[in-house]
Structure 1
Amino acid sequence: MRSFEMLFVVFNILLIGWLIFARNKSQRGLLIGFGISAIIMLMHGVIEGMRWQMIPAYAMTVVPLAIAAGRLMSKPEERIAKKASRAKLVTVTALAVIYSFVAVALPLILPVFTFEKPTGPYKIGTVTFDWKDEQREETLTPEPGDKRELMVQIWYPADSKAKGKPVPYLSDSYIFAKGYSTILGMPKFLFTTFGYVKTHAIENAEISNQEPAYPVLLFSHGFSGHKNQNTFQIEQLVSHGYIVVGIDHTYSSTASVFSDGRVANYVPQETESIAYLDKANEGWVEDATFVLNQVEKLAKNDPDQRFTGRMDMQNVGMFGHSFGGATSTQMLITDSRIKAALNMDGVLYGKLRIPASGLEKPFLMMSADDSLNSAQHMRDKELIKMMEDALARYEHVAVGGNYWMKMNDMKHMGFSDLYLFSPLYEQMEGVDIRKVHRLINDYSQDFFDHYLRQQPFKLLEQNIGDHPEFTLQKS
Structure 2
Amino acid sequence: MRHLLAAAAGLAVLAASACSAPTPPRSATPSATPTGPATLPAPTGAHPVGTTALHLKDTSRPDPWNLDARARELKVTLWYPAEQRGGQRDGQRAPYMTPKESELLLKGGRITGVPDDTLSRTRTNAVKDAEPTGRELPLVVLSPGFTKPVNALTSLAEDLASRGYVVAGIDHTYESYATTLADGRVAECLACDSDADPGFGAGVVAGRAADVSFVLDQLPSAWDGAGRIDRSRIAMVGQSIGGAGAMAAMVKDPRVRAGIDMDGTTYARIPKGGFSRPFMFIGSPQHVPGGGDNSWERDWKLLTGWKRWIVLTGADHQSFTDIPLLAGALGIKPAYGLLPAARAAELTRTYVAAFLDQHLRSRRQPLLDKPSSRYPEVGFCPAACGRS
Report the TM-score range of the alignment, normalised by the length of the smaller protein.
Answer: 0.7 to 0.9
Match of 1:243 among 166, 174, 180: 166
Match of 1:306 among 225, 243, 248: 225
What letter matches 2:177 in structure 1? T
SS of residue matched to 1:181? helix
TM-score (normalizing by structure 2): 0.81
TM superposition shift of 1:124 = 0.5
Structure 2: distance between partners of 1:218 and 1:169? 18
- The CA RMSD measured in Å over matched residues stands at 2.7
SS of residue matched to 1:338? coil
Query: Against the structure 1 CA distance between its residues 354 and 474, is the aligned structure 2 distance closer, same or farther, given a 3 Å change threshold?
Result: farther
Match of 2:112 among 178, 187, 192: 187
What letter matches 2:340 in structure 1? D
TM superposition shift of 1:185 = 2.5
Residue in 1 aligned with 2:12? none
Match of 1:141 among 62, 66, 70: 66
Residue in 2 aligned with 1:127? 52
Residue in 2 aligned with 1:422? 327
Residue in 1 aligned with 2:359? 451
Structure 1: distance between partners of 2:245 and 2:131? 31
Structure 1: distance between partners of 2:334 and 2:271? 34
What letter matches 2:107 in structure 1? S
Residue in 2 aligned with 1:322? 240
Structure 2: distance between partners of 1:397 and 1:408? 26
Residue in 2 aligned with 1:432? 340
1:363-382 aligned within 5 A: 363-370=279-286
Residue in 2 aligned with 1:360? 276
Structure 1: distance between partners of 2:189 and 2:333? 23
1:347 matched to 2:265: yes
* Structure 1 residue ranges, 4+ long, deviating more than 4 angstroms after superposition: 371-376
Structure 2: distance between partners of 1:216 and 1:440? 18
Q: Deviations over 1:289-336 (max 9, x none)?
A: 1111112334xxx4xx433x2111010111000111011111122211
Richer in helix (by share): 1
Query: Against the structure 1 CA distance between its residues 266 and 401, is the aligned structure 2 distance closer, same or farther, given a 3 Å change threshold?
Result: same
What letter matches 2:120 in structure 1? G
SS of residue matched to 1:106? coil
Structure 2: distance between partners of 1:400 and 1:311? 25
Structure 2: distance between partners of 1:250 and 1:331? 17
Residue in 1 aligned with 2:16? none
The answer to whether the Cα contact below 8 Å between 2:150 and 2:169 also exists between their aligned partners in 1 is yes
Percent identity of equivalent pairs? 27
TM superposition shift of 1:162 = 4.1
Q: Deviations over 1:393-452 (max 9, x none)?
A: 344276543100011111111111111221435226723111011011111101100111
Match of 1:280 among 192, 204, 210: 204
Query: Against the structure 1 CA distance between its residues 439 and 115, is the aligned structure 2 distance closer, same or farther, given a 3 Å change threshold?
Result: same
The answer to whether the Cα contact below 8 Å between 1:401 and 1:474 also exists between their aligned partners in 2 is no
Decide which moves more: 156-165 or 215-224.
156-165
Structure 1: distance between partners of 2:93 and 2:112? 28
SS of residue matched to 1:456? coil
1:331 matched to 2:249: yes
Greater Rg by CA: 1
What letter matches 1:138 in structure 2? D
What letter matches 1:306 in structure 2? G
Query: Against the structure 1 CA distance between its residues 297 and 456, is the aligned structure 2 distance closer, same or farther, given a 3 Å change threshold?
Result: same
Structure 1: distance between partners of 2:312 and 2:302? 15
TM-score (normalizing by structure 1): 0.67
TM superposition shift of 1:375 = 7.4
